Structure 1
Amino acid sequence: MFEILVIIFAGFGAGIVTGLVGASAVVIVTPFLVIFLGYDPYSAIGISLATDVVASSVSAFTYSKHGNINIKGGLLIAISAVIAAIFGSWFSAGMTPTALGGLTGIIILLTGISFRRKPINQRVEEFKNKFELNFFREREKLSSVLFGTFIGLMTGIFGAGGGIMILMVLTFVLDYKTHMAIGTSVLIMTFTALFASASHFIVEQHIPYFELLLSGFFAFAGAVTAATFANGASEKKLSKAIGTAFIFLGLIVILN
Protein backbone atom coordinates (compact mmCIF):
# COMPACT_ATOMS: atom_id res chain seq x y z
CA MET A 1 0.00 0.00 0.00
CA PHE A 2 2.84 2.40 0.84
CA GLU A 3 4.47 1.75 -2.55
CA ILE A 4 1.17 2.43 -4.34
CA LEU A 5 0.67 5.71 -2.47
CA VAL A 6 4.21 6.89 -3.26
CA ILE A 7 3.82 6.14 -6.98
CA ILE A 8 0.40 7.84 -7.07
CA PHE A 9 1.75 10.97 -5.37
CA ALA A 10 4.84 11.04 -7.60
CA GLY A 11 2.82 10.63 -10.80
CA PHE A 12 0.28 13.27 -9.86
CA GLY A 13 3.02 15.70 -8.79
CA ALA A 14 4.87 15.12 -12.06
CA GLY A 15 1.73 15.95 -14.03
CA ILE A 16 1.22 19.15 -12.03
CA VAL A 17 4.81 20.32 -12.55
CA THR A 18 4.80 19.55 -16.27
CA GLY A 19 1.40 21.14 -16.83
CA LEU A 20 2.32 24.33 -14.98
CA VAL A 21 5.84 25.11 -16.16
CA GLY A 22 6.87 22.41 -18.64
CA ALA A 23 9.40 20.86 -16.24
CA SER A 24 10.31 17.18 -16.48
CA ALA A 25 8.80 14.40 -14.38
CA VAL A 26 12.32 13.46 -13.25
CA VAL A 27 12.27 16.21 -10.63
CA ILE A 28 9.37 14.48 -8.86
CA VAL A 29 9.23 10.80 -9.83
CA THR A 30 12.94 9.90 -9.56
CA PRO A 31 13.47 11.28 -6.01
CA PHE A 32 10.33 9.59 -4.69
CA LEU A 33 11.18 6.20 -6.18
CA VAL A 34 14.83 6.34 -5.09
CA ILE A 35 14.31 7.76 -1.58
CA PHE A 36 11.09 6.14 -0.40
CA LEU A 37 11.04 2.88 -2.35
CA GLY A 38 14.76 2.20 -2.79
CA TYR A 39 14.67 1.94 -6.59
CA ASP A 40 17.89 1.83 -8.57
CA PRO A 41 18.38 5.32 -10.11
CA TYR A 42 18.55 3.92 -13.66
CA SER A 43 15.19 2.15 -13.25
CA ALA A 44 13.66 5.23 -11.60
CA ILE A 45 14.82 7.43 -14.48
CA GLY A 46 13.20 5.06 -16.99
CA ILE A 47 9.87 5.27 -15.15
CA SER A 48 10.25 9.07 -14.90
CA LEU A 49 10.75 9.33 -18.65
CA ALA A 50 7.70 7.19 -19.36
CA THR A 51 5.66 9.37 -16.98
CA ASP A 52 6.99 12.38 -18.89
CA VAL A 53 5.45 11.02 -22.08
CA VAL A 54 1.96 11.11 -20.57
CA ALA A 55 2.29 14.44 -18.75
CA SER A 56 3.91 16.17 -21.73
CA SER A 57 1.43 14.88 -24.31
CA VAL A 58 -1.53 16.03 -22.21
CA SER A 59 0.07 19.44 -21.69
CA ALA A 60 0.89 19.71 -25.40
CA PHE A 61 -2.71 18.91 -26.32
CA THR A 62 -3.92 21.69 -24.03
CA TYR A 63 -1.54 24.22 -25.59
CA SER A 64 -2.46 23.11 -29.10
CA LYS A 65 -6.14 23.86 -28.44
CA HIS A 66 -5.09 27.47 -27.83
CA GLY A 67 -2.93 27.57 -30.98
CA ASN A 68 0.33 27.67 -29.03
CA ILE A 69 2.34 24.98 -30.83
CA ASN A 70 4.66 25.39 -33.82
CA ILE A 71 6.54 22.14 -34.34
CA LYS A 72 7.89 23.11 -37.76
CA GLY A 73 10.36 25.60 -36.30
CA GLY A 74 11.54 23.15 -33.64
CA LEU A 75 11.71 20.06 -35.88
CA LEU A 76 15.52 19.95 -36.07
CA ILE A 77 15.75 20.27 -32.30
CA ALA A 78 13.26 17.41 -31.91
CA ILE A 79 15.08 15.05 -34.29
CA SER A 80 18.51 15.80 -32.82
CA ALA A 81 17.22 15.45 -29.27
CA VAL A 82 15.52 12.10 -29.93
CA ILE A 83 18.66 10.56 -31.46
CA ALA A 84 20.91 11.91 -28.69
CA ALA A 85 18.47 10.75 -25.98
CA ILE A 86 18.85 7.14 -27.14
CA PHE A 87 22.65 7.34 -26.91
CA GLY A 88 22.40 9.10 -23.55
CA SER A 89 20.29 6.32 -22.05
CA TRP A 90 22.86 3.72 -23.18
CA PHE A 91 25.65 5.77 -21.65
CA SER A 92 23.92 6.12 -18.29
CA ALA A 93 23.50 2.32 -18.07
CA GLY A 94 27.26 2.08 -17.47
CA MET A 95 27.26 4.54 -14.57
CA THR A 96 27.19 3.37 -10.95
CA PRO A 97 23.93 3.96 -9.04
CA THR A 98 25.74 6.31 -6.64
CA ALA A 99 27.14 8.50 -9.42
CA LEU A 100 23.91 8.51 -11.42
CA GLY A 101 21.75 9.25 -8.38
CA GLY A 102 24.08 12.00 -7.18
CA LEU A 103 24.23 13.72 -10.56
CA THR A 104 20.46 13.51 -10.94
CA GLY A 105 20.08 15.12 -7.51
CA ILE A 106 22.36 17.98 -8.57
CA ILE A 107 20.27 18.58 -11.71
CA ILE A 108 17.09 18.72 -9.59
CA LEU A 109 18.73 21.04 -7.05
CA LEU A 110 19.92 23.48 -9.72
CA THR A 111 16.46 23.44 -11.32
CA GLY A 112 14.95 24.36 -7.97
CA ILE A 113 17.39 27.23 -7.42
CA SER A 114 16.61 28.55 -10.89
CA PHE A 115 12.85 28.54 -10.24
CA ARG A 116 13.28 30.16 -6.83
CA ARG A 117 15.29 33.06 -8.19
CA LYS A 118 13.03 34.18 -11.05
CA PRO A 119 9.95 33.04 -13.00
CA ILE A 120 10.82 31.63 -16.41
CA ASN A 121 9.10 34.40 -18.40
CA GLN A 122 11.01 37.12 -16.51
CA ARG A 123 14.31 35.29 -17.00
CA VAL A 124 13.64 35.00 -20.74
CA GLU A 125 12.97 38.73 -21.14
CA GLU A 126 16.05 39.75 -19.15
CA PHE A 127 18.26 37.37 -21.10
CA LYS A 128 16.98 38.74 -24.40
CA ASN A 129 17.74 42.30 -23.34
CA LYS A 130 21.18 41.48 -21.97
CA PHE A 131 22.73 39.27 -24.66
CA GLU A 132 23.13 39.57 -28.40
CA LEU A 133 22.09 36.27 -29.97
CA ASN A 134 22.36 37.11 -33.66
CA PHE A 135 25.26 34.65 -34.01
CA PHE A 136 22.93 31.74 -33.20
CA ARG A 137 19.92 33.14 -35.04
CA GLU A 138 21.94 33.59 -38.22
CA ARG A 139 22.94 29.91 -37.97
CA GLU A 140 19.51 28.63 -36.98
CA LYS A 141 19.83 25.08 -38.36
CA LEU A 142 23.28 24.46 -36.90
CA SER A 143 22.24 25.91 -33.55
CA SER A 144 19.09 23.77 -33.48
CA VAL A 145 21.10 20.58 -34.07
CA LEU A 146 23.76 21.44 -31.48
CA PHE A 147 21.31 22.46 -28.78
CA GLY A 148 19.00 19.57 -29.62
CA THR A 149 21.86 17.08 -29.27
CA PHE A 150 22.85 18.50 -25.88
CA ILE A 151 19.26 18.41 -24.64
CA GLY A 152 18.82 14.82 -25.85
CA LEU A 153 21.96 13.65 -24.05
CA MET A 154 20.77 15.23 -20.79
CA THR A 155 17.39 13.56 -21.29
CA GLY A 156 18.87 10.11 -21.83
CA ILE A 157 21.42 10.31 -19.02
CA PHE A 158 19.51 12.07 -16.23
CA GLY A 159 15.90 11.39 -17.24
CA ALA A 160 15.01 15.06 -17.59
CA GLY A 161 12.78 15.41 -20.62
CA GLY A 162 14.46 18.73 -21.39
CA GLY A 163 11.33 20.89 -21.35
CA ILE A 164 12.96 23.90 -19.71
CA MET A 165 16.09 23.64 -21.88
CA ILE A 166 14.01 23.28 -25.05
CA LEU A 167 11.96 26.28 -23.93
CA MET A 168 15.15 28.34 -23.60
CA VAL A 169 16.36 27.42 -27.09
CA LEU A 170 13.00 28.12 -28.72
CA THR A 171 12.77 31.47 -26.97
CA PHE A 172 16.38 32.67 -27.25
CA VAL A 173 17.51 31.16 -30.54
CA LEU A 174 14.29 30.87 -32.54
CA ASP A 175 12.63 33.91 -30.92
CA TYR A 176 9.34 32.19 -30.02
CA LYS A 177 6.82 33.95 -27.78
CA THR A 178 6.70 32.42 -24.29
CA HIS A 179 3.37 30.57 -24.61
CA MET A 180 4.26 29.24 -28.05
CA ALA A 181 7.68 28.14 -26.75
CA ILE A 182 6.18 26.28 -23.78
CA GLY A 183 3.62 24.48 -25.94
CA THR A 184 6.20 23.47 -28.54
CA SER A 185 8.73 22.42 -25.90
CA VAL A 186 6.34 20.03 -24.14
CA LEU A 187 5.42 18.50 -27.51
CA ILE A 188 9.10 17.90 -28.32
CA MET A 189 9.61 16.56 -24.79
CA THR A 190 6.91 13.96 -25.45
CA PHE A 191 9.02 12.38 -28.19
CA THR A 192 12.42 12.69 -26.48
CA ALA A 193 11.00 11.08 -23.33
CA LEU A 194 9.28 8.34 -25.36
CA PHE A 195 12.43 7.20 -27.15
CA ALA A 196 14.67 7.61 -24.10
CA SER A 197 12.33 5.57 -21.88
CA ALA A 198 12.03 2.84 -24.52
CA SER A 199 15.82 2.71 -24.73
CA HIS A 200 16.06 2.43 -20.93
CA PHE A 201 13.68 -0.52 -20.84
CA ILE A 202 15.49 -2.25 -23.72
CA VAL A 203 18.80 -1.97 -21.86
CA GLU A 204 17.19 -3.16 -18.61
CA GLN A 205 15.29 -5.93 -20.41
CA HIS A 206 12.41 -5.29 -18.05
CA ILE A 207 9.25 -3.17 -18.29
CA PRO A 208 7.68 -2.22 -14.92
CA TYR A 209 4.07 -2.31 -16.16
CA PHE A 210 2.45 -1.73 -12.78
CA GLU A 211 4.52 1.36 -11.94
CA LEU A 212 4.10 2.77 -15.45
CA LEU A 213 0.31 2.38 -15.49
CA LEU A 214 -0.14 3.83 -12.01
CA SER A 215 2.28 6.72 -12.44
CA GLY A 216 1.07 7.48 -15.97
CA PHE A 217 -2.63 7.54 -15.00
CA PHE A 218 -2.07 10.01 -12.16
CA ALA A 219 0.35 12.06 -14.25
CA PHE A 220 -2.50 12.44 -16.72
CA ALA A 221 -4.79 13.59 -13.91
CA GLY A 222 -2.16 15.98 -12.60
CA ALA A 223 -1.52 17.53 -16.01
CA VAL A 224 -5.24 18.03 -16.63
CA THR A 225 -5.59 19.63 -13.18
CA ALA A 226 -2.62 21.93 -13.80
CA ALA A 227 -4.00 23.02 -17.17
CA THR A 228 -7.34 23.81 -15.54
CA PHE A 229 -6.02 25.77 -12.57
CA ALA A 230 -2.78 27.24 -13.98
CA ASN A 231 -4.32 30.70 -14.26
CA GLY A 232 -5.40 30.73 -10.62
CA ALA A 233 -2.01 31.81 -9.28
CA SER A 234 0.69 34.17 -10.46
CA GLU A 235 3.66 32.73 -12.32
CA LYS A 236 5.99 34.22 -9.69
CA LYS A 237 4.30 32.36 -6.82
CA LEU A 238 4.17 29.12 -8.80
CA SER A 239 7.87 29.34 -9.64
CA LYS A 240 8.87 29.96 -6.02
CA ALA A 241 6.73 27.12 -4.66
CA ILE A 242 7.97 24.63 -7.26
CA GLY A 243 11.57 25.82 -6.81
CA THR A 244 11.42 25.22 -3.05
CA ALA A 245 10.13 21.68 -3.59
CA PHE A 246 12.86 20.94 -6.16
CA ILE A 247 15.63 22.19 -3.86
CA PHE A 248 14.34 20.02 -1.02
CA LEU A 249 14.06 16.91 -3.22
CA GLY A 250 17.44 17.51 -4.88
CA LEU A 251 19.23 17.79 -1.53
CA ILE A 252 17.59 14.59 -0.27
CA VAL A 253 18.61 12.65 -3.39
CA ILE A 254 22.22 13.88 -3.14
CA LEU A 255 22.43 13.00 0.58
CA ASN A 256 20.74 9.66 0.01
Structure 2
Amino acid sequence: MLGKTLITTRKFVQQSKTTKRLPVLVYSEAGCFKHILKYQTAAGLIFYQPSMKDNKLIINFGFKNGTFLKTEVTNQYKRKKIEFAYAMKGNRSAPEPFQKATLLPESNLTFNGDKLIIDLNVKSKKKDENPSKSEEKNKPANLIDTKTLSKEIVNEINDKFSYQLADAITQRLISSDKLMNRIAEAVGFKLASTISTRTNRLSESLNSTIKEQSNKNENKITKNVYELFKEAGWLK
Protein backbone atom coordinates (compact mmCIF):
# COMPACT_ATOMS: atom_id res chain seq x y z
CA MET A 1 0.00 0.00 0.00
CA LEU A 2 2.27 2.72 -1.29
CA GLY A 3 1.67 6.12 0.25
CA LYS A 4 -0.28 4.80 3.21
CA THR A 5 0.90 4.53 6.79
CA LEU A 6 0.90 0.87 7.82
CA ILE A 7 2.69 0.90 11.17
CA THR A 8 3.77 3.98 13.09
CA THR A 9 4.72 5.16 16.53
CA ARG A 10 3.46 8.41 18.01
CA LYS A 11 5.25 10.85 20.21
CA PHE A 12 5.28 9.69 23.83
CA VAL A 13 2.68 11.04 26.26
CA GLN A 14 3.82 12.12 29.72
CA GLN A 15 1.19 10.44 31.89
CA SER A 16 2.83 11.39 35.16
CA LYS A 17 6.16 12.69 36.43
CA THR A 18 7.67 9.22 36.21
CA THR A 19 5.57 7.47 33.54
CA LYS A 20 5.67 7.90 29.77
CA ARG A 21 3.09 6.28 27.49
CA LEU A 22 4.63 4.90 24.27
CA PRO A 23 1.98 4.24 21.56
CA VAL A 24 2.25 2.13 18.39
CA LEU A 25 -0.48 2.05 15.73
CA VAL A 26 -1.06 -0.85 13.33
CA TYR A 27 -3.39 -0.16 10.39
CA SER A 28 -5.62 -2.71 8.63
CA GLU A 29 -3.49 -2.75 5.48
CA ALA A 30 -0.50 -4.13 7.42
CA GLY A 31 0.17 -7.82 6.87
CA CYS A 32 0.06 -8.66 10.60
CA PHE A 33 -3.35 -7.01 11.17
CA LYS A 34 -5.44 -10.14 10.46
CA HIS A 35 -3.17 -12.24 12.67
CA ILE A 36 -3.72 -9.78 15.54
CA LEU A 37 -7.50 -10.08 15.09
CA LYS A 38 -7.26 -13.77 16.07
CA TYR A 39 -6.85 -12.59 19.66
CA GLN A 40 -10.03 -10.48 19.54
CA THR A 41 -12.77 -11.54 21.98
CA ALA A 42 -16.46 -11.83 21.13
CA ALA A 43 -16.91 -8.36 22.62
CA GLY A 44 -14.34 -6.96 20.19
CA LEU A 45 -11.62 -6.41 22.79
CA ILE A 46 -7.98 -7.44 22.56
CA PHE A 47 -6.16 -8.03 25.85
CA TYR A 48 -2.39 -7.87 25.97
CA GLN A 49 0.58 -7.55 28.29
CA PRO A 50 3.28 -5.14 27.04
CA SER A 51 6.97 -5.17 27.93
CA MET A 52 10.20 -3.70 26.59
CA LYS A 53 13.49 -5.51 26.07
CA ASP A 54 16.55 -4.67 23.96
CA ASN A 55 14.73 -1.76 22.30
CA LYS A 56 11.91 -4.09 21.28
CA LEU A 57 8.30 -3.64 22.32
CA ILE A 58 6.79 -7.05 23.11
CA ILE A 59 3.00 -7.42 22.98
CA ASN A 60 2.06 -10.68 24.71
CA PHE A 61 -1.45 -11.93 23.88
CA GLY A 62 -0.96 -15.26 25.67
CA PHE A 63 -0.30 -14.00 29.21
CA LYS A 64 -1.82 -15.91 32.14
CA ASN A 65 -1.35 -13.52 35.04
CA GLY A 66 -0.09 -10.07 35.95
CA THR A 67 -1.26 -6.64 34.87
CA PHE A 68 -2.56 -6.21 31.33
CA LEU A 69 -4.09 -3.64 28.98
CA LYS A 70 -6.94 -3.80 26.50
CA THR A 71 -7.45 -2.28 23.08
CA GLU A 72 -9.87 -2.58 20.18
CA VAL A 73 -10.23 -1.91 16.47
CA THR A 74 -11.20 1.69 15.74
CA ASN A 75 -12.08 3.50 12.53
CA GLN A 76 -10.25 6.54 11.24
CA TYR A 77 -10.90 8.08 7.84
CA LYS A 78 -12.54 4.84 6.64
CA ARG A 79 -9.47 2.89 7.80
CA LYS A 80 -9.23 0.46 10.69
CA LYS A 81 -6.43 0.56 13.22
CA ILE A 82 -5.32 -0.98 16.51
CA GLU A 83 -3.29 0.98 19.05
CA PHE A 84 -0.92 -0.69 21.50
CA ALA A 85 0.87 1.13 24.29
CA TYR A 86 3.60 0.60 26.84
CA ALA A 87 3.98 2.58 30.08
CA MET A 88 7.66 3.28 30.58
CA LYS A 89 8.41 4.09 34.20
CA GLY A 90 11.37 6.11 35.46
CA ASN A 91 13.01 9.33 34.43
CA ARG A 92 14.68 7.86 31.35
CA SER A 93 14.24 9.46 27.96
CA ALA A 94 11.72 7.82 25.63
CA PRO A 95 13.30 5.70 22.86
CA GLU A 96 14.10 7.66 19.70
CA PRO A 97 11.12 6.37 17.64
CA PHE A 98 8.80 7.89 20.29
CA GLN A 99 10.43 11.31 20.25
CA LYS A 100 8.22 12.00 17.23
CA ALA A 101 5.83 10.02 15.03
CA THR A 102 7.97 7.47 13.21
CA LEU A 103 7.06 4.99 10.50
CA LEU A 104 8.09 1.38 11.11
CA PRO A 105 8.62 -1.08 8.23
CA GLU A 106 6.55 -4.25 8.31
CA SER A 107 9.75 -6.25 8.58
CA ASN A 108 10.16 -4.82 12.10
CA LEU A 109 7.08 -6.74 13.27
CA THR A 110 7.36 -10.47 13.87
CA PHE A 111 5.35 -13.08 15.78
CA ASN A 112 6.88 -15.53 18.22
CA GLY A 113 4.08 -17.77 19.45
CA ASP A 114 1.51 -15.47 21.07
CA LYS A 115 3.94 -12.56 21.20
CA LEU A 116 4.06 -9.71 18.71
CA ILE A 117 7.60 -8.34 18.72
CA ILE A 118 8.01 -4.77 17.46
CA ASP A 119 11.62 -3.89 16.72
CA LEU A 120 12.10 -0.18 17.40
CA ASN A 121 15.47 -0.05 15.64
CA VAL A 122 14.69 1.81 12.45
CA LYS A 123 17.45 1.02 10.01
CA SER A 124 18.72 3.93 7.94
CA LYS A 125 19.20 3.32 4.23
CA LYS A 126 22.70 2.84 2.89
CA LYS A 127 24.29 5.93 1.43
CA ASP A 128 24.34 6.08 -2.32
CA GLU A 129 27.52 6.90 -4.18
CA ASN A 130 25.73 9.93 -5.58
CA PRO A 131 24.99 12.30 -2.64
CA SER A 132 22.04 13.96 -4.37
CA LYS A 133 20.30 10.60 -4.91
CA SER A 134 20.92 9.63 -1.31
CA GLU A 135 19.36 12.85 -0.03
CA GLU A 136 16.41 12.39 -2.34
CA LYS A 137 15.78 8.83 -1.08
CA ASN A 138 16.05 9.82 2.56
CA LYS A 139 13.69 12.77 2.36
CA PRO A 140 10.48 10.96 3.46
CA ALA A 141 12.41 8.26 5.27
CA ASN A 142 10.72 7.66 8.62
CA LEU A 143 8.61 10.70 9.41
CA ILE A 144 4.84 10.58 9.08
CA ASP A 145 3.27 13.42 7.12
CA THR A 146 2.54 16.23 9.60
CA LYS A 147 -0.75 17.19 7.90
CA THR A 148 -2.01 13.61 8.09
CA LEU A 149 -1.01 13.34 11.73
CA SER A 150 -2.69 16.67 12.54
CA LYS A 151 -5.91 15.49 10.89
CA GLU A 152 -5.79 12.22 12.83
CA ILE A 153 -5.31 14.03 16.14
CA VAL A 154 -8.11 16.52 15.39
CA ASN A 155 -10.40 13.68 14.37
CA GLU A 156 -9.72 11.79 17.61
CA ILE A 157 -10.37 14.94 19.66
CA ASN A 158 -13.66 15.48 17.81
CA ASP A 159 -14.72 11.86 18.36
CA LYS A 160 -13.97 12.04 22.09
CA PHE A 161 -15.69 15.43 22.42
CA SER A 162 -18.81 14.19 20.56
CA TYR A 163 -19.00 11.15 22.82
CA GLN A 164 -18.56 13.22 25.99
CA LEU A 165 -21.18 15.74 24.83
CA ALA A 166 -23.70 13.00 23.98
CA ASP A 167 -23.05 11.29 27.30
CA ALA A 168 -23.49 14.57 29.21
CA ILE A 169 -26.79 15.32 27.43
CA THR A 170 -28.06 11.80 28.11
CA GLN A 171 -27.18 12.04 31.80
CA ARG A 172 -28.94 15.43 32.06
CA LEU A 173 -32.07 14.07 30.43
CA ILE A 174 -32.16 10.92 32.57
CA SER A 175 -31.71 12.95 35.76
CA SER A 176 -34.58 15.27 34.84
CA ASP A 177 -37.65 14.19 36.88
CA LYS A 178 -39.93 16.43 34.83
CA LEU A 179 -38.88 14.82 31.55
CA MET A 180 -39.06 11.28 32.91
CA ASN A 181 -42.56 11.93 34.32
CA ARG A 182 -43.72 13.20 30.93
CA ILE A 183 -42.29 10.13 29.22
CA ALA A 184 -43.96 7.86 31.80
CA GLU A 185 -47.32 9.61 31.29
CA ALA A 186 -47.04 9.41 27.50
CA VAL A 187 -46.05 5.74 27.56
CA GLY A 188 -48.71 4.96 30.16
CA PHE A 189 -51.41 6.63 28.05
CA LYS A 190 -50.37 4.70 24.96
CA LEU A 191 -50.28 1.42 26.86
CA ALA A 192 -53.65 2.07 28.48
CA SER A 193 -55.21 2.78 25.10
CA THR A 194 -53.68 -0.36 23.57
CA ILE A 195 -54.68 -2.58 26.52
CA SER A 196 -58.25 -1.22 26.47
CA THR A 197 -58.63 -1.87 22.74
CA ARG A 198 -57.26 -5.39 22.99
CA THR A 199 -59.40 -6.19 26.05
CA ASN A 200 -62.56 -5.07 24.27
CA ARG A 201 -61.68 -7.22 21.26
CA LEU A 202 -61.01 -10.22 23.50
CA SER A 203 -64.28 -9.69 25.37
CA GLU A 204 -66.24 -9.51 22.10
CA SER A 205 -64.53 -12.64 20.84
CA LEU A 206 -65.30 -14.55 24.06
CA ASN A 207 -68.95 -13.45 24.09
CA SER A 208 -69.33 -14.51 20.47
CA THR A 209 -67.75 -17.89 21.19
CA ILE A 210 -69.92 -18.46 24.30
CA LYS A 211 -73.10 -17.54 22.40
CA GLU A 212 -72.21 -19.83 19.49
CA GLN A 213 -71.37 -22.72 21.82
CA SER A 214 -74.57 -22.14 23.80
CA ASN A 215 -76.70 -22.31 20.64
CA LYS A 216 -75.00 -25.53 19.57
CA ASN A 217 -75.58 -27.12 22.99
CA GLU A 218 -79.21 -25.98 23.01
CA ASN A 219 -79.86 -27.49 19.57
CA LYS A 220 -78.14 -30.71 20.57
CA ILE A 221 -80.17 -31.05 23.79
CA THR A 222 -83.42 -30.33 21.93
CA LYS A 223 -82.62 -32.98 19.32
CA ASN A 224 -81.75 -35.60 21.97
CA VAL A 225 -84.99 -34.93 23.93
CA TYR A 226 -87.01 -35.20 20.70
CA GLU A 227 -85.40 -38.55 19.84
CA LEU A 228 -86.05 -39.81 23.39
CA PHE A 229 -89.73 -38.86 23.24
CA LYS A 230 -90.00 -40.45 19.80
CA GLU A 231 -88.50 -43.77 20.97
CA ALA A 232 -90.84 -43.83 23.98
CA GLY A 233 -93.81 -43.56 21.64
CA TRP A 234 -94.88 -40.24 23.03
CA LEU A 235 -94.68 -38.67 19.65
CA LYS A 236 -96.73 -40.01 16.75
Q: Which has the higher strand share?
A: 2
Q: Relative contact order, CA 8 A, sep 6+: which one is greater?
A: 1
TM-score, length basis structure 1: 0.27
TM-score, length basis structure 2: 0.29
Question: Larger Cα Rg: Structure 1 or Structure 2?
Answer: 2
